[in-house]
Amino acid sequence: MKITLVGTGHVGLITGTCLAEIGHMVTCYDVDRDKIQLLKRGCLPFFEPGLNEMVKKNTENGRLSFTYSIRDALLNSEIIYITVGTPMGTDGQIDLNYIYTASDQIAEHITNKVIIVMKSTVPIGTNRIIKERIQAVSSGRASIEIVSNPEFLREGTAIHDTLFAERIIIGSDSKYAAEVVEKINQPFDIPIFKTDLQSAELIKYSSNAFLATKISFINEIAQICERVGANIEDVAYGMGLDSRIGSKFLRAGIGYGGSCFPKDVSALIQTATMHNVDMNIIKAANVVNQHQQVVLIKKAKQRFGSLHNKKAAILGLSFKPNTDDIRDSPAVRVMNILLDEGVQMTAYDPVAIENVRKLFGDDIYYSSSIEGALVNAEMAFIFTEWEEIKKVPLSKYKELMSSPVLFDGRNCYSLEEVSQYPIEYYSIGR
Ligand SMILES: NC(=O)c1ccc[n+]([C@@H]2O[C@H](COP(=O)([O-])OP(=O)(O)OC[C@H]3O[C@@H](n4cnc5c(N)ncnc54)[C@H](O)[C@@H]3O)[C@@H](O)[C@H]2O)c1
């Protein structure tokens, strides 16, 4: 089947590549010419393990192509995926402008029967509005059906998540359109659940809100652990042995971030408020997360008093390992506060340095190695649990920092290990 994706970011590029991988003819379109030119030269606009090889394979076999011409992208295309961003606006509402612009562009160029597949995460009710909008702008030139097909991939494991997802959700008011999208996805051999538009939209939001709540729940338990002398790692492990609870997303740390959880949680709260429903649990998850992200600053201030002019090593900048995405990264929020406190920071991340440099410029120092960041630092913060950061031998901290004080926001080391080294160690919930 010939498929066009409008928006070639994290979701668009990964979805498009995986659809090509299972045999479809895919065109990825983006308004960002630089991004498309980069892709045409065989380079990726962001870091994602395994993606480079798969893009290369599918461009070489002719199933995957890139364009910044909307006309070329939509020529004879009957299946159009919308994969543009839906960031949070400054007023806290989801900014749907990219969705509206993309829809209007589609409406101007389509001429026959098309199915719009919405992969972007959009507030409940948006798909219906978009269908009407495209119908109106295209002045009846084309017949349109819309399908909500929310995306659940996680950056860092996105290829695996797409090829081996646990479910594919297809929501539509059109039985025909739902069946076409089901057929497109059949080669993935993943369980498919078909439902109506609003339910599909809400499945996406509820899933992310539930996972965010699970993280905030364990982070709140971590706070009690610190007061009563319990160990959050043991508590989470013991809880997770119960299959009704499960061990995933029960890792205490400095809270969730990224381009999805914070904005999806806010969007669900906003939608509920509009419908006079008070989302007490989800609001609390958000509040707990706001506190949790800055918990290491409190610990550092308790330890040092003023942080002014102190030298700090920052290890890990992306919102989670295996991605260079720093959107809503807890590390970035904490670094902004540390900057205001007058801390001299040297930051290290395996792949996210360049993105962070765009935000902080010359306000902080950057290191191309963990060792370079640690040298002469008075304190070190671990914000992202990259494998290579987790593997730093504790002896290194002693070797490179004169009197090492380590604030570990991801509980990378066991207390037993740490006790064997002359390191002052502060972690979460232990
Ligand atoms: N990133 C994730 O992990 C993830 C996971 C699940 C769902 N989502 C959702 O998927 C959607 C996309 O997220 P993303 O992370 O891929 O965003 P992104 O910012 O990485 O990519 C969006 C792309 O859309 C392009 N774009 C904007 N307007 C356009 C237009 N009119 N025509 C063509 N291209 C246009 C941008 O240039 C950009 O390349 C969002 O709704 C997000 O919430 C993201």
Q: Which of 303, 298, 362 has the alpha carbon at shortest distance from 334?
A: 298
Q: How far apart, in whole angstroms, are the C-alpha atoms of residue 107 and residue 142?
A: 8
Percentage with pLDDT > 90 across the chain: 96
84 CA distance to ligand 1 centroid (A)?
A: 4
State in Å: Cα 259 to ligand 1 middle.
Answer: 10
Q: Which domains does the chain have, with CATH numbers?
A: 2-195 (3.40.50.720), 204-291 (1.10.1040.10), 294-426 (3.40.50.720)
What are the tens digits of pLDDT across the range 114-165?
999 999 999 999 999 999 999 999 988 889 999 999 999 999 999 999 999 9
Of all atoms in ligand 1, which is nearest to the CA of residue 11? 16
Mutate to test the pocket of ligand 1, among 30, 154, 157 (most ligand atoms within 8 A of CB): 30
Q: Which two tokens stand for residue 430?
A: 């232990």
Reported pTM: 0.95
Q: How confident is the model at residue 402 (pLDDT cuts 50, 70, 90)?
A: confident
Instruction: Report how far ligand 1's centroid is from the alpha carbon of 7 (Å).
Output: 6
C-alpha dist (Å) from residue 265 to 31, 81, 311, 343: 28, 24, 35, 32
Using most ligand atoms within 8 A of CB, pick from 5, 11, 30 the residue to mutate for ligand 1.
11
Catalytic residue flag (residue 260): yes
The structure tokens listed for 382 are: 């671990």
DSSP string, 32-98: -HHHHHHHHTT--SS--TTHHHHHHHHHHTTSEEEES-HHHHHTT--EEEE----PBPTTSSB--HH
d(CA 10, ligand 1 centre) in Å: 6
> Which atom of ligand 1 has the smallest separation from the CA of 150?
7
Confidence of residue 361 (pLDDT cuts 50, 70, 90): very high
Burial classification of residue 166, based on how many CB atoms lie within 10 Å of its CB (0-12 exposed, 13-18 middle, 19 or more buried): exposed
pLDDT(355) > 90: yes
The Cα 88–Cα 210 span in angstroms is: 19
Q: Is residue 210 within a helix (H) or strand (E), and if so which, with residue range?
A: helix 197-228
Does residue 282 sit in helix, strand or coil?
helix
Per residue in 209-231, pLDDT (tens digit) is 999 999 999 999 999 999 999 99
Which residues contact ligand 1 via a Cβ below 6 A?
6-12, 29-32, 35, 83-86, 98, 101-102, 105, 120-121, 151, 153, 155, 259-260
Atom 17 of ligand 1, residue of closest alpha carbon: 85
